[in-house]
Amino acid sequence: MSSEVGVLTPERITEIVRHAFNEAVKVARLDKAFPDVMTLCEVAEYLQVSKATIRNKIRDERLPVSSKLGNPRFLKAEIDSWLKGGI
């Protein structure tokens, strides 16, 4: 009978630590407070997509955006409504 089941090798410890770290990063990202008015970078992080995806959605008019000040700005309330299918 082998007793190797449950043996913590250095590789297994590294794997466990890496997994725990990745999960902590996910939780921290979800807990981050986003501003009421977001930049393109912030909305990409908020939606967890690339900046290119956000630009494409702006171009295709599939994402609520305001460009009154020159650079695109996103109202968090409108993005939340859009996510829920309200816009």
Q: Which pLDDT value is given to residue 7? A: 83
Report d(CA 10, CA 78) in Å as an integer.
48
* Cβ atoms of 22 and 33 closer than 8 Å: no
Q: Which pLDDT value is given to residue 31? A: 59
pTM of the complete model? 0.61
Report d(CA 63, CA 82) in Å as an integer.
7
C-alpha distances (whole Å) from 78 to each of 20, 22, 45 are: 34, 30, 16
Report d(CA 49, CA 12) in Å as an integer.
31
Local confidence pLDDT in tens for the 87 residues of the chain:
445 567 889 888 888 888 887 677 666 565 578 899 999 999 999 998 999 999 999 999 889 998 777 889 999 999 988 888 854
* Cβ atoms of 44 and 6 closer than 8 Å: no
Q: Which domains does the chain have, with CATH numbers?
A: 10-83 (1.10.1660)
Q: Which pLDDT value is given to residue 1? A: 44
